[in-house]
Amino acid sequence: MEGLWCLFQILLVLPAAVRTWDVIVASDAHLHTLTAGGSINEMQTQLTLGSSVSMAAAPARDKLYLADGSHDNASVFRLDVESGSMVPVIPKQPREINGLALDPMHNVLYWTTGYGHSIMMANVDGQSLSNKVVKMVHKFRDEIPQGIAIDSCGRYLFWTNSNVRAPSIERSNLDGSNRTAIVSKDLHVPLGVSVDQAERKLYWSQELEGIYYSIERSDLDGSNREVMRSMHHQPFSLAVGPDYIYWVDGTNNAVWRKDKSLLFQGSDPIKVYAFQSAPTDVVAYVAGEAKTDAECRAILSAYESRKLEATTIITTSAPEDITEADWNDNKPSNEFCLNNGAVLYSKDREPVCRCLPGFTGVRCETEICFNYCVHGSCSPDNKRGGPACSCDEGYTGLRCDQSACSGFCLNDGHCRIVEGKPTCDCHETFNGERCEISSSVAKLCQLYCESDLAAVALHSGSDIKSLCVCPPLGKPNYHEDGFNRTTYLIPSGANQMFLKNESSYMSGSASALVITFGCICLLLLLAVVLLMYKVVQLRKRPRIKKRFIGSKTVTPTPLTNRPSPATDQCEINIENCCNMNICETPCFEPNLRTSRPGSKKEEKKTLLDSMETPQGGSHDDLY
């Protein structure tokens, strides 16, 4: 009765709406309305759309927000579903918009930028396009935000991080505070994400390795995770309606659906429609936007009522003519209700069992803890009405089915459980709580702590110790064996990246020094070669090639002495004479040389002129 009353309240609060479509799909620069049965209609839009469009719906107001980067003046438009008119609401953005979500309570749009590594927000009302204020909610370093969704009643923002190195499903308050990764295990490439406001569930799609994909569901805090795994789909985006979950598939260019209540059973998904090209986004019809506090209270109240009915110990619906007094007047009966369950009878005398905590079934025949906890003990949870596990040492998870060491130690470190907590035994080249610190970084800290810079930092109280924690000067740490084994502590996160950057800088400086030294050596080698060339050139002497014929009868001159020939004339080769091959004396007198230094050509010319025209006589005087 209470559940029906809450549903009646919702019907009074939520505005009446006539459903004309179940989903809207963006594909090949067009928008299409689809029903769950596959009826399709193309929507008319005032402006031409681009090939990649993201959407956020406000179906109770027949509004649709479109992120389309193909226009010059704006990146997001508000589309009237009935008329097709489009109004720009967000100015042109420098980064492509990947996912789009609307907070209907305050008319604020949130969007992801993918490889822009950020989540942005802006109010769609109140300001002109030129004065629109766009704020950054999150700025990431390595995360790649893809899909985005909003729980307007819980005031939470959800997004998928599709970085394959460290994928995650994350959540924060709408103002960006209290950011946390609610799912970080068993993920590959999460893509789309959507919130089921009425059922308080979170859905997401992800690509798996090879030909596999999965559609998954959990509570809004990431607990109670359920997985539907299949093949040959690429579920880029998904949306949750009242009865079905829909997703667009880039492999088959289609839209698929599956009943939410049968999502994790063995039935295959149903193809709603196949397009010529891959659809880029899908939004589903929801009969209310939870845009006021009253609507949210009605939704949450209805959810709590359904949750109470789902977890009650009564497993068979009680007839309406059974009162609370009927329950109290009945005593346990072992004839129909087992495990000390209480039996009551309606007016038509049909028996109905009321089971004790820990049992369920029509006759209370099933123990809820049967084979539930894998590595731990099970007991009924009085709050939820279901089983609760107390895990053994070294195990965790809802059913104690996950080892605490699973994925804990990095870089091939060995994990063991010590006092109920995972502890890592690292290889020689790594250290840290999870073997996450490379010893090369530790070496940098050691060099720093042993340098004069560390002494200055320690005396001045500088914050440099936040990078490398050095021991106090003059106070080394001694271990029990008497050896001095000073430990240099290296923090994680941004400081490690700083040290890595410093290491890269030092490596670059060393390379520059080597290059400079090589250039100097090359210049010295060239100078040596040049000097050797000059020395060789200087060692060359001028060679005089000239013949001179003199008379035999002439008295020998002081210029030369030659052998007595048998003829009247003799031929003297001046070249041989000057090279001391024949003559015993030089070919010229010392006073014939110029006292002023000159070039080799001038010296040779002077020598020849002196020999051809001797001082104070003719050629005959030479002989």
Domain ranges of the chain: 19-293, 335-367
190-194, 341-345, 599-603 — most confident range: 190-194
Which of 184-193, 519-528, 601-610 is predicted with the least confidence, judged by mean pLDDT? 601-610
Average pLDDT score, the chain: 76
The pLDDT of 562-586, averaged and rounded, is 50
Structure tokens at 65: 């927000």
340: left (phi over 0), alpha (psi -120 to 50) or beta: left
Cα–Cα distance, 573 to 578 (Å, whole number): 9
Question: Residue 245 pLDDT more than 70?
Answer: yes
Give the distance, in angstroms, between the CA of residue 287 and the centroid of all CA atoms in the same chain. Answer: 37
Q: At CA 22, angle to CA 264 and CA 170, rounded to 5?
A: 55
DSSP code, position 619: G
Do residues 550 and 619 make contact, with C-beta atoms less than 8 angstroms apart?
yes
Q: At what angle do helices 452-460 and 439-449 cross, to 10 degrees?
A: 70
In what helix (H) or strand (E) does residue 452 lie, and over which residues does it extend? helix 452-460
Cα separations in angstroms, 497 against 145, 177, 441, 492: 22, 24, 10, 8
Question: Long-range contacts of range 382-391, CB-CB < 8 Å, 24 or more positions apart?
Answer: 382/357, 384/311, 385/311, 385/312, 385/313, 385/357, 386/311
HSE-up of residue 483 (Cα within 13 Å, Cβ side): 3
Q: What is the mean pLDDT of residues 71-92?
A: 92
How high is the pLDDT of residue 570?
52
Lowest mean per-residue pLDDT among 385-394, 491-500, 525-534: 491-500
Q: Is the pLDDT of residue 33 over 80?
A: yes
Closest listed residue to residue 153, CA positions, set 300, 10, 286, 7: 300
| Residue 125 burial by Cβ neighbours in a 10 Å radius (0-12, 13-18, 19+) | exposed
**Percent of the chain scoring above 90 in pLDDT:** 33
Are the C-beta atoms of residues 158 and 150 closer than 8 Å to each other?
Answer: yes
Quickly state the pLDDT bin for 456 (edges 50, 70, 90): very low
Tokens of 38: 């596959």
d(CA 76, CA 71): 9
Amino acid letter, 316:
T
pLDDT at 462: 43
Neighbours of 341 (CB within 10 A): 24
**Across 548-557, average pLDDT:** 49
Report the chain's terminal Cα–Cα distance, integer Å.
155
Residue 50: count of CB within 10 angstroms of its CB: 15
Please tell me the predicted confidence (pLDDT) of residue 126: 77
Instruction: Assign domain 335-367 to a CATH class.
Output: mainly beta
pLDDT at 431: 83
Of 146, 156, 153, 133, the C-alpha closest to 187 is: 146
Q: Give dist(CA 419, CA 433) in Å, integer.
A: 15
Q: Compute the average pLDDT of residues 463-479.
A: 50
CATH of domain 19-293: 2.120.10.30
Q: How confident is the model at residue 143 (pLDDT cuts 50, 70, 90)?
A: very high
The set of residues, in sequence order, having a beta carbon less than 8 Å from that of 282 and lying 6+ positions away, is 23, 24, 25, 26, 55, 237, 238, 239, 246, 247, 248, 255
Work out the average pLDDT over 315-334: 44
